[in-house]
Amino acid sequence: MVCPKCQRDIPDSAPYCAYCGVRFAHPAATDPPSSPPRTSGLAVASLILGILGGLVVTALLGLLFGIIALVQIGGSRGRLRGQGIAIAGTVISGLALLCIPILAAMVFPVFSRARSSAHKATCLSNVKNISLALQMYMADNDDRLIAAANWCGDLEDYVRNYDVFLCPVADDLDCAYALNSDLSGADLASFADPMSTVAIFESDVGWNASGLPQDILAPEPRHLEGDNYGYLDGHVQWVPRGADPGSAPSRRSVPPY
């Protein structure tokens, strides 16, 4: 640079002129302008995952990201912001984790009952198919009922498939149903009230099981504290355990299949 007094060339960084002694005032060095603080991405992610906290995984991740974000923001010396977002995400995720077991406890019985109802309907359909097979057998044999000794085998030609002998709750049995032994080889006309006469009922005895319901009915009710029955007239119904299947008052409220 040039000295303003003596007009001599001197170095730019010289504090004074070596020729005339004039001192120079250099501008103070300034720090480059700092960038504005940015919002923590983990804080935002924590809030989003907390809002979507219906799943255990998202709630756990939301809680974890929120805690990490709070630690990072606290140690960033102002370079990161979003502490409020991180706190909100952490709290919402934590609440979601607390609510999940409560919701599960409320929803599980509903699904369990729906599953039991589906099993009951499948079993009742099986009993209906066996009852229809009995009707077809009687039609081919002058209204004479099937013999108890081999009733399962004799009905195989009249049922859609072997699966009708299997109850979804007792699928370890080769046949989950029994024939009322009082019907064995009898004439249909000998029964005054076929609508109240039990023909097929649930049992754990197995293939070709026959007997009376009070003797060989399944020890424990398989379907919502009750049992499925097929009647001599061909209709079927579910009867609560302990009620008389021959005179159950709910029978007429169940539409025939």
DSSP class per residue in 152-181: HHHHTTTSS-GGGG--TT-TTSS--EEEEG
Domain stop point among 105, 137, 154: 105
Q: Do 177 and 244 reside in the same domain of the chain?
A: yes
Owner of token pair 């006469």: 197
Q: Is residue 198 part of a domain?
A: yes
Q: Is residue 155 part of a domain?
A: yes
Residue 118 predicted with pLDDT over 90: yes
Domain stop point among 55, 75, 105: 105
Q: Is residue 136 part of a domain?
A: yes
Q: Is residue 13 part of a domain?
A: no
Residue 165 predicted with pLDDT over 90: yes
Q: Do 175 and 62 reside in the same domain of the chain?
A: no
Q: Do 154 and 218 reside in the same domain of the chain?
A: yes
Contacts 24+ apart (CB under 8 A), 100-105: 100/53, 100/54, 100/56, 100/59
Q: Do 122 and 69 reside in the same domain of the chain?
A: no
236 with 215: CB under 8 angstroms?
A: no
What amino acid occupies position 25? A
Q: Do 129 and 246 reside in the same domain of the chain?
A: yes
For 23, residues 6+ apart whose C-beta sits below 8 A from its C-beta are 15, 16, 17
Task: Tell me the pLDDT tens digit for each residue of 62-76.
Answer: 888 889 988 888 888
Cβ atoms within 10 Å of 185's Cβ, excluding its own: 11
Q: Do 170 and 138 reside in the same domain of the chain?
A: yes
Q: Do 238 and 214 reside in the same domain of the chain?
A: yes
> Which carries the bigger pLDDT value, residue 40 or residue 253?
40
Q: Do 85 and 198 reside in the same domain of the chain?
A: no
d(CA 180, CA 170) in angstroms, rounded, equals 20
Distance of CA 249 to the CA centre of its chain: 35
Domain stop point among 60, 77, 105: 105
- Number of domains the chain contains: 2
| Average confidence score pLDDT of the chain | 85
Q: Is residue 139 part of a domain?
A: yes
d(CA 136, CA 144) in angstroms, rounded, equals 11
Q: Do 101 and 121 reside in the same domain of the chain?
A: no
For 218, residues 6+ apart whose C-beta sits below 8 A from its C-beta are 170, 176, 202, 203, 204, 227
Residue 97 predicted with pLDDT over 70: yes
Q: Do 138 and 66 reside in the same domain of the chain?
A: no
Residue 89 predicted with pLDDT over 80: yes
Quote the pTM value. Answer: 0.60
Residues belonging to the chain: 257
Q: Is residue 90 part of a domain?
A: yes
User: In terms of residue numbers, what domain contains 158?
Assistant: 117-253
Residue 178 sits at φ, ψ, to 5 deg, of: -130, 155
Owner of token pair 């008052």: 249
- pLDDT, residue 132, reads 96
Q: Is residue 189 part of a domain?
A: yes
Q: Do 121 and 232 reside in the same domain of the chain?
A: yes
135 with 114: CB under 8 angstroms?
A: no
Task: Tell me the pLDDT tens digit for each residue of 7-58.
Answer: 777 777 777 777 777 776 655 445 555 678 888 888 888 888 888 866 677 8
Q: Is residue 98 part of a domain?
A: yes
User: Of the candidates 150, 124, 126, 155, which has an alpha carbon nearest to the alpha carbon of residue 138?
Assistant: 155
Q: Do 100 and 125 reside in the same domain of the chain?
A: no
